């Protein structure tokens, strides 16, 4: 046991201490249970309904529930409820969703750290980047409460991060399965298939593998991914008679009130707020933090760093095909998010854009031969870390 303990990377221990201290301090500051249940326990309710043998749930006015044929259904992709099943069985309505989102975030950070170390980054470079990349952003707020929206995003973040890590260690079957599971949390995560496949293809070609050998190595991962998609489609069909319908079209705001979830008409408005919007608004002559979002360039600073890195790579003629694919897919993903009607509603920063942080992680891995984070980037990320802590205290559920 002592020998095993000695083999544990010190960076891992430091990261665990940093995260625990941060979460305990913030939970005390906002007067919430760091590991307890949440009032927005939609996924727990769905898991409990499965244990009772049905797919519908009881109505709870404070939750976003779809109404179909007189019954209420969870309108979000179902994977988090699958994860919550054993906890719901053991704890019922006291399922510790606040603690689970912290576990997802913790595992994500450790995987990022491990991948960076494997790619040749120095311990402190890897440690600081792994910590600051998610927690200097709106992602920090998501880890403080296991509410339905946050639960889906943090679990999807873990699945994508783990998929990238497994890809870099040549475990493509597991990578593709984890990728598919992320889509079962956040449907737009389907776009991560593009950089995952392309970078995997590039790695294998450089290793001298043939086209047939690459396809052979991917076959089981593709099969498992299709099985996940089929399971989700079947669940949707059982509830709504349509394998592509998660239930959003049956939310009152869309079915009764005439709203449209995604529209090109929202892009301009969302660009104004979530690309160029200030984090502060003036009220009675004093600045107040925006409670309905602001520029993702501030709210998710690691994405700003990736944009700057891409521009520098272009200028230095160091932009490889892999980097270009990652960056262009990031832009497409961002554009699709900008079509959303609310872009997350009440929030600190731009919580939808936290779905994009794994692109920065993958881009960081691709720059491993030339990149050592410069002092201005560290200063920027550290300042934004302080700001994200402040924002998480001021704007939270």
Q: What is the CB neighbour count within 10 angstroms for residue 218?
A: 19
For residue 196, CA distances in Å to 106, 162, 172, 217 come to 22, 12, 9, 14
Assess whether pLDDT exceeds 90 at residue 113.
Answer: yes
Degrees (nearest 5) of the Cα angle 303, 305, 306? 65
- pLDDT over 80 (residue 2): no
Q: Is 325 helix (H, G, I), strand (E, B) or coil?
A: helix
- For 139, half-sphere exposure in the C-beta direction (CA atoms, 13 angstrom radius) is 33
- Please state, for a pLDDT cut of 70, what percent of the chain lies above it: 96
Name the residue among 76, 75, 79 with its Cα closest to residue 104. Answer: 79
Q: Which two three-digit tokens encode residue 50?
A: 């499965």
- Is 6 a residue whose pLDDT tops 60? no
pLDDT at 353: 97
The per-residue pLDDT for 395 is 93
What pTM did the predictor assign?
A: 0.95
Is the pLDDT assigned to residue 248 strictly greater than 90? no
> Could you report the per-residue pLDDT of 27-48, keeping only the tens digit for each?
999 999 999 999 999 999 999 9
pLDDT-derived band at 369 (thresholds 50, 70, 90) equals low
N- to C-terminal Cα distance for the chain? 42
Residue 22 has what pLDDT? 97
Token duo for residue 258: 């005439």
- In the predicted structure, residue 188 carries a pLDDT above the cut 60: yes
Residue among 53, 62, 149 at smallest CA distance from 97: 149
pLDDT level of residue 309 (50, 70, 90 thresholds): very high
Phi, psi for residue 70 in degrees, rounded to 5: 80, 5
pLDDT tier at 5, thresholds 50, 70, 90 = very low
Interacting residues of 229 by C-beta distance below 8 A, sequence separation 6+: 180, 183
What pLDDT score was predicted for residue 259?
Answer: 65
> Which residues make Cβ contacts (< 8 Å) with residue 121, sequence separation at least 6?
129, 368
pLDDT of residue 9: 80
Q: What is the pLDDT of residue 1?
A: 44
List the single range of 3-12, 38-47, 130-139 with lowest mean pLDDT: 3-12
Q: In the predicted model, what is the mean pLDDT of residues 233-260?
A: 82
Is residue 125 exposed (0-12), middle (13-18) or buried (19+ Cβ within 10 Å)?
middle
How large is the average pLDDT for residues 350-376?
A: 87
Q: What integer is the mean pLDDT of 370-385? A: 85
Q: Is 281 helix (H, G, I), strand (E, B) or coil?
A: strand
Nearest-10 crossing angle of helices 193-206, 357-366: 10
Tell me the three state secondary structure of residue 148.
helix
Which among 140, 139, 115 is positioned nearest to 126, based on CA atoms?
A: 115
């Amino acid at each position: 046991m002592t020998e095993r303990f000695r083999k544990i990377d010190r960076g891992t221990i430091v990261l665990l201490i940093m995260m625990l201290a941060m979460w305990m301090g913030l939970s005390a500051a906002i007067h919430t249970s760091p590991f307890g249940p949440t009032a927005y326990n939609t996924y727990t309710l769905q898991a409990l309904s499965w244990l009772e043998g049905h797919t519908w749930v009881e109505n709870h006015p404070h939750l976003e529930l779809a109404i179909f044929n007189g019954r209420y259904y969870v309108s979000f992709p179902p994977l988090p409820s699958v994860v919550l099943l054993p906890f719901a069985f053991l704890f019922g309505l006291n399922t510790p969703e606040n603690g689970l989102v912290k576990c997802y975030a913790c595992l994500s950070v450790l995987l990022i750290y491990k991948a960076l170390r494997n790619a040749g980054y120095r311990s402190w470079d890897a440690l600081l980047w792994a910590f600051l990349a998610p927690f200097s952003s709106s992602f920090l707020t998501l880890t403080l409460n296991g509410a339905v929206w946050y639960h889906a995003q943090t679990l999807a973040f873990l699945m994508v991060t783990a998929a990238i890590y497994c890809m870099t260690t040549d475990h493509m079957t597991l990578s593709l399965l984890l990728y598919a599971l992320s889509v079962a949390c956040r449907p737009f995560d389907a776009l991560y298939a593009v950089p995952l496949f392309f970078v995997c293809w590039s790695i294998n070609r450089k290793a001298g593998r043939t086209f047939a050998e690459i396809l052979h190595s991917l076959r089981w991962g593709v099969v498992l991914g299709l099985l996940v998609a089929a399971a989700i489609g079947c669940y949707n069909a059982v509830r709504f008679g349509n394998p592509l319908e998660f239930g959003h079209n049956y939310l009152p705001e869309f079915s009764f009130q005439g709203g449209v979830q995604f529209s090109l008409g929202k892009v301009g408005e969302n660009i104004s707020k979530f690309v160029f919007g200030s984090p502060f608004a003036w009220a009675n002559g004093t600045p107040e933090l925006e409670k309905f979002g602001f520029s993702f360039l501030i709210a998710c600073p690691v994405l700003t760093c990736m944009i700057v890195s891409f521009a520098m790579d272009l200028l230095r003629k160091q932009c490889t095909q892999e980097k270009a694919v990652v960056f262009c897919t990031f832009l497409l993903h961002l554009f699709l998010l900008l079509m959303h009607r609310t872009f997350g509603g009440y929030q600190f920063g731009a919580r939808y854009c936290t779905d994009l942080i794994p692109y920065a992680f993958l881009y960081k891995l691709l720059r491993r031969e030339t990149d050592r984070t410069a002092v201005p980037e560290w200063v920027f990320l550290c300042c934004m870390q302080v700001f994200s802590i402040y924002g998480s205290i001021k704007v939270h559920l």
